[in-house]
């Protein structure tokens, strides 16, 4: 089982990820002769408090995405009543620690567009949808976290 261990940062369990158009959208772009945007390298925070993965709008805008889903969302900013929010299909790749380790790749995954992430120093929250595919160990004593997949 591939895994990597990283130091916890002041913000928590942070890692590098690559966000691109989904494989399904990539095929559609190619079929109509449009260019496929390159995946974007981002900093992503593991967040067990997020049901689903969230990505900053600047990243989704750069990829030229349009929504393909909708969901009700409850956050501290929405107050007691959930708000409707758009979902965007993307691909996400989380590289392994070594080049010999295969990356964790999700080719078609819906993510929520969430503002105010970049202001907090990162561009995505890795939510429990992705964590459901992984084993996460948070070692507070050593100041590290491990993600196996």
Partner 1 sequence: MALEKELETYTEKLPELKAHEGKFVLIHGDDVVEVFTSYEDAIKQGYARFKLEPFLVKRISSIEQVQFISRFVDPCSLGPAT
Task: For CA atoms 18, 85, 57, 135, give the dihedral sign.
Answer: negative
Residue among 14, 44, 46, 60 that touches partner 1 (CB under 8 A): 60
Chain centroid to Cα 23, Å, comes to: 15
Q: Which of 10, 31, 35, 98 binds partner 1 (CB under 8 A)?
A: 31
Residues 131, 50 contacting (CB under 8 angstroms): no
Residue 46, interface with partner 1 (CB under 8 A)?
no
Q: How far is CA 137 from CA 25, 36, 104, 132, in A?
A: 33, 36, 16, 13
Question: Could you tell me the smallest distance in angstroms from the CB atom of residue 56 to partner 1?
Answer: 9
Map the footprint of partner 1 across residues 63-82, applying CB under 8 A. 64-78, 82
- Residues 6 or more apart from 123 whose CB is under 8 A from it? 19, 42, 43, 44, 55, 56, 58, 59, 117
Give all strands of the β-sheet with 135-139 in edge-to-edge order. Answer: 3-7, 144-148, 135-139
Q: Does 19 bind partner 1 (CB under 8 A)?
A: no
Site for partner 1 contains 86 (CB under 8 A): yes
Q: Does the protein bind partner 1 through residue 4 (CB under 8 A)?
A: no
Q: Cβ 98 to partner 1, closest distance in Å?
A: 28
Based on the shown chain and the rule CB under 8 A, indicate whether residue 52 belongs to the binding site for partner 1: yes
Q: Is 11 in the site for partner 1 (CB under 8 A)?
A: no
Is residue 9 within the footprint of partner 1 (CB under 8 A)?
no
CB of 34 to partner 1, least distance (A): 8
Total interface residues for partner 1 by CB under 8 A: 54
């Amino acid at each position: 089982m591939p895994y990597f261990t990283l130091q916890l940062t002041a913000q928590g369990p942070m890692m590098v990820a690559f966000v691109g158009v989904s494989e399904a959208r990539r095929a559609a772009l190619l079929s109509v002769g449009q260019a496929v945007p390159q995946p974007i390298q981002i900093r992503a925070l593991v967040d067990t408090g997020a049901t689903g993965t969230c990505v900053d709008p600047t990243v989704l805008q750069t990829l030229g995405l349009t929504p393909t889903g909708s969901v009700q969302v409850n956050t501290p900013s929405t107050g007691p009543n959930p708000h409707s929010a758009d979902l965007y299909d993307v691909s996400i790749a989380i590289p392994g620690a070594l080049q010999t380790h295969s990356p964790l790749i999700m080719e078609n995954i819906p993510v929520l567009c969430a503002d105010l992430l970049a202001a907090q120093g990162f561009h995505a929250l890795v939510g429990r949808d992705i964590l459901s595919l992984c084993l996460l160990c948070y070692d507070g004593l050593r100041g590290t976290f491990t993600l196996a997949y």
